[in-house]
Structure 1
Amino acid sequence: MKSFGFLSFGHYAMGPAQQGPSAADMARIHLDVAQAADEMGVNNASFRVHHFVPQAAAPMPLLGAIAGSTKRIDIGTGVIDMRYENPLYLAEEVAALDQIAGGRLALGLSRGAPEAADKGWEAFGYHSEREDGSDLARKNFERFLAAIDGAPLARAAQLDKQYPNMYQPGTGLPIFPHSPGLRKRIYWGSGTHRSAEQAARDGVNLMSSTLVSETTSETLGEIQADQIARYRAAWTEAGHDWSPKVSISRSIFPLVSAEDHRLFGLQGGGHDQVGVIPQAGASTFGRSYAAEPDALIEQLQQDPAIAAADTLLLTLPTTMGADISIRILENFAEHVGPALGWEPTPER
């Protein structure tokens, strides 16, 4: 493990009758945590994206605010559901965000997780042939990659219809802006070995999902380590000329103070679980880690996926407020991360 960051699911209360932060509170919490993480040298700030539920659904305003108020932390998503996206508009937004962030983007895209809405993408104006929308996600993803690569996706109009008169009629037009190197900062969120291998063929980084569809007797870490090995083998076979990155996520709570023990002490001692997720079927869920630093380091060193990945994202309980999430990051950065090979991001 060379870098670590955080992943927030960003749940918020739908109204005064519910306990917890409001949508506005959660936006402020995310900003506060990201800014504090940037000061610590934490390497990545990522945010879950879901539609038709009280979570962050439109990440670009938040990511833009973080990019403009931080200096070194990578910013991204885990993940944007490509069934809901206009791929060319997303490509324009992402390129502009990458420029604002100075190349600090680490954007996760995917087919998307099971959701509350019945084919919610249809309400957004998109249609698929398959029940799960996977064909739509694939088509949109391929078009998005073509757009950020600068491929011509429209043709210049006749001169008497063109304003301003910039192009010869019929000239192929790419989207603007174009951010060089952006392809190397795109991740595909994968919950299966097959989709991980496809991500390698596509030439994008890998974000191994918080749950995976393989349900062998192995632990989540062992399943993910196999997934990562398959991804890297497929990458080598594809012949790409650069080295990709792999990120995974875990719920990790270093117990440093009495308050840490009170809040999170009961989170440790569990095991990976297999459960059935609608649309996804049987899936393997990872355990939570909660222990004093020395014991925690030993436990994490035994997780083969942490050893195989480049980035470890800590899933934070941001509904508990910014201070608690910041303390988790501080505890990990001071007492755990260095023993796992973590190096803070230098100022850029």
Structure 2
Amino acid sequence: METHFKKRIGFLSFGHYGTGRGSQTNTAADALHQAIDLSVAAEELGIDGAFFRVHHFARQQAAPFPLMAAIAARTSRIEIGTGVIDMRYENPLYMAEQAAATDLIADGRLQIGVSRGSPEPAANGAADFGYHPLDGETGADMARRHTATFRHAISGAGVAEPGEHAYMGGERLLRIEPQAPGLSERIWWGAGSRATAVWAARQGMNLMSSTLLTEDTGVPFDQLQAEQIQLFRGEWAAAGHGFTPRVSVSRSIIPVVDDTDRRYFGLRAQVDGKDQVGMIDGLLSRFGKSYMGDPADIARDLANDAAVQAADTLMLTVPNQLGVAYNTKMLANIAEHIAPAIGWEPATA
């Protein structure tokens, strides 16, 4: 039976930390504790989700499951997820155990975004973690193989031959434990192009689209992203999966309402507001614009953003290094003055 999703908003944090000017997250401990506190505050505001980007060999959030489990223990309603985990770096069976345990602590609120990853500081970080492509594979192929193994494991399928001390319970192969019912339908693929969105639909994964696409057709970013979403949904319908997929897009949204906002973002608000085209990983890419300035203007522009309207979930990238108080105020302004323009209503317990 299909489920039709209401419009949701969540925050997306990159978990930066360091001693730069104005930073409120001087250490990794600061960033982690503040991520928990911001999630609690976001739940109180009626925000629907708390999501975290995963990077390696950088002063950013890296190991998401301890953080998400801690947030789960401090909250009761808000979704908790990743956006996204680089699957080149992952042991898929151990990740399946961590994900299932975290989802059980969260009472089924976990949303796991995965992908082939983005450029990293390390020359070959996945190899440093002990993971190498098979003969003829690329790093992207390895990420997809790891994802397939992970999804197979969380589905409850057997993955290991039993040994002499195994308690079989009627099963030929041993499955990972614990198992988290329903988690299989809460896996998202971070797609950077129309082709990868179509691939994700064929695999039966939800779609997580970012503020950049690794292609450019000359049309505005929101229209290209809306086309990506349309292709995803068309392929999903043709595949005949047994549930309705979810689709998220990310936007940088900064309402400028007081002197603090103007000090941090006033100049950028005057010059931002246009798509950018550039190269990433050797591919001509289109980057979506930032929404900064008067809340009424942002609300109007978001209501006309084709991809925001097409998606069921909007991820709000947050400047986490400015601290919990600033980001809570920013989310409150978005919730009150901007998000209703796209059809969002605050969640209730």
Q: Which residue does the alignment assign to 2:144? A: 138
CA distance in 1, matches of 2:162, 2:136: 34
Give how far 1:283 is off: 1.3
Q: 2:293 aligns with which of 279, 291, 309?
A: 291
CA distance in 1, matches of 2:345, 2:102: 25
Q: Which residue does the alignment assign to 2:307? A: 305
Conserved 8 A contact 2:8-2:344:
yes
- The correspondence of residues 48-127 of structure 1 with structure 2, limited to 5 A, is 48-127=53-132
Please tell me the residue identity of whatever aligns with 1:219.
Answer: P
For the residue of structure 2 that corresponds to 1:50, the secondary structure is: coil
Q: 2:10 aligns with which of 5, 12, 17?
A: 5
Q: Which residue does the alignment assign to 1:196? A: 197
Q: Which residue does the alignment assign to 1:26? A: 31
Conserved 8 A contact 1:248-1:311:
yes
Q: CA RMSD in A?
A: 1.8
Conserved 8 A contact 2:273-2:292:
no
Q: Which residue does the alignment assign to 2:275? A: 272
**2:147 counterpart of 1:150:** no
Please tell me the residue identity of whatever aligns with 2:276.
Answer: Q
- The correspondence of residues 215-294 of structure 1 with structure 2, limited to 5 A, is 215-268=216-269, 269-277=272-280, 279-294=281-296
Conserved 8 A contact 1:271-1:286:
yes
User: Which sections of structure 1, spanning at least 5 residues, go unmatched?
Assistant: none
CA distance in 2, matches of 1:282, 1:54: 27
Please list the CA deviations of residues 45-95 of structure 1 after superposition, one character each: whole Å capped at 9, or x if unmatched.
Answer: 101101111111101111111010011110001100000001011011111
Please list the CA deviations of residues 261-317 of structure 1 after superposition, one character each: whole Å capped at 9, or x if unmatched.
Answer: 33323333431101112x252211111111222211111111100000011111001
When normalised by structure 1's length, the TM-score is 0.93
User: Which sections of structure 2, spanning at least 5 residues, go unmatched?
Assistant: 1-5
Q: Which residue does the alignment assign to 1:317? A: 319
How many residue pairs match? The answer is 339
For the residue of structure 1 that corresponds to 2:30, the secondary structure is: helix
Report % sequence identity: 49
CA distance in 1, matches of 2:223, 2:53: 24
Give how far 1:132 is off: 5.0
CA distance in 2, matches of 1:130, 1:298: 49
Q: Which residue does the alignment assign to 1:180? A: 181
Give how far 1:169 is off: 9.6
CA distance in 2, matches of 1:330, 1:264: 17
Conserved 8 A contact 1:155-1:170:
no
Please tell me the residue identity of whatever aligns with 2:273.
Answer: G
